[in-house]
């Protein structure tokens, strides 16, 4: 078991990274600020630090330099949604062991971490029978569906697309999906109505809501209706994949042995 410190000011990222790595048997501590990171590094040893490039008002590069002052040998991986060649070069020069973009996905993240710890292979997109798990993508924007399809197909999932709620219900009626990614604001049938009908038809199905703006009332209603989680557009693909694979991993671990 390795001890990993995650530094990120986004609570959603911290939670799903912790869940994903904890499922691999590792002890994960998360902090939202540079100051808390420094304090905890002085009190206990860690086997690896995973740090965002922007941590509130602090620069991840400055945090990295301070970590190197405190512990010269500890592996540090920098990750960000806005990596540029200049940032990557600066981070490496400051002592980063690796620099990753947040859209690389959980498999690439865990693969990089595994070079410095004892983390095993990431969760698979396949089922116990070897069949690919299926994701239903529901969004009225064809371009968004196309981007999501390309992303999840590359990760080993089978995908189906629906451009509105009515079409989604027709597809889901005849097929089983591990996950439904459901836009909240759509014509014909909005996401909340679709969610309610979908859960009535397929109780227990994992539905993740998608919204282009932070509408707390709609998000709360979706969660009250039974949505598993929600994500914002534009997508943080690492966050999205972590949510989905964490859910699929917990579902498999709860399944009875045969």
Query: Per-residue pLDDT tens for 167-182?
Result: 999 999 999 999 999 9
- The least confident of 16-30, 42-56, 131-145 is 16-30
Is 50 inside any structural domain? yes
Over pLDDT 70: what percentage of the chain? 91
Query: Per-residue pLDDT tens for 96-151?
Result: 888 888 777 777 777 788 887 754 444 456 655 557 889 999 999 999 999 899 88
- Same domain as 160, residue 97: no
Taking the CA atoms of residue 110, residue 157, residue 218 and residue 19 in that order, the dihedral angle to the nearest 10 degrees is: -30
CA 223 vs CA 33, 149, 185, 229: distances in Å: 28, 25, 15, 7
- For residues 69-80, one letter each, b for 16 or more C-beta atoms within 10 angstroms of the residue's C-beta and e for the rest, the string is eeeeebbbbbbb
Is 127 inside any structural domain? no
Report the CATH number at residue 233: 3.40.50.2300
Cis (ω within 30 of 0) for the bond into 245? Answer: no
Q: What's the structural domain count of the chain?
A: 2
d(CA 199, CA 206): 9
Quick one: tokens of 129? 């029978």
Radius of gyration of the chain from its Cα atoms, rounded to whole angstroms: 19
What is the domain range of residue 54?
3-114
pLDDT, position 125: 60
DSSP per residue over 139-167, as a string? -S-HHHHHHHHHHHHHTT-EEEEESSHHH
Over pLDDT 90: what percentage of the chain? 41
- Same domain as 48, residue 145: no
Choice between 197 and 108, residue whose per-residue pLDDT is larger: 197
């Amino acid at each position: 078991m390795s001890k990993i410190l995650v530094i990120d000011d986004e609570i959603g990222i911290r939670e799903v990274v912790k869940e994903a790595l904890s499922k691999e048997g590792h002890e994960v501590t998360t902090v939202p600020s540079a100051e808390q990171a420094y304090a905890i590094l002085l009190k206990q040893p860690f086997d690896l630090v995973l740090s965002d490039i922007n941590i509130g008002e602090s620069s991840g590069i400055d945090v990295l330099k301070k970590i190197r002052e405190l512990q010269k040998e500890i592996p540090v991986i920098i990750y960000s949604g806005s990596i540029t060649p200049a940032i990557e070069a600066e981070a490496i020069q400051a002592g980063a062991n690796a620099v990753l973009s947040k859209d690389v996905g959980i498999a690439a993240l865990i693969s990089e971490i595994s070079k410095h710890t004892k983390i095993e292979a990431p969760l698979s997109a396949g089922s116990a029978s070897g069949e690919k798990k299926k994701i239903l993508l529901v969004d009225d924007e064809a371009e968004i569906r196309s981007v999501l399809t390309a992303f999840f197909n590359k990760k080993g999932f089978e995908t189906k697309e629906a451009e509105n709620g009515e079409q989604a219900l027709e597809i889901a009626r005849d097929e089983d999906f591990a996950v439904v990614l459901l836009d909240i604001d759509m014509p014909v049938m909005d996401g909340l109505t679709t969610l309610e009908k979908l859960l009535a038809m397929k109780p227990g199905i994992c539905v993740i809501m998608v919204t282009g703006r932070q509408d707390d009332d709609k998000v709360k209603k979706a969660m009250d209706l039974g949505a598993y989680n929600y994500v914002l557009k534009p997508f943080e693909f690492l966050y999205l994949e972590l949510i989905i694979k964490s859910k699929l991993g917990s579902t498999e671990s709860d399944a009875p042995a045969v």
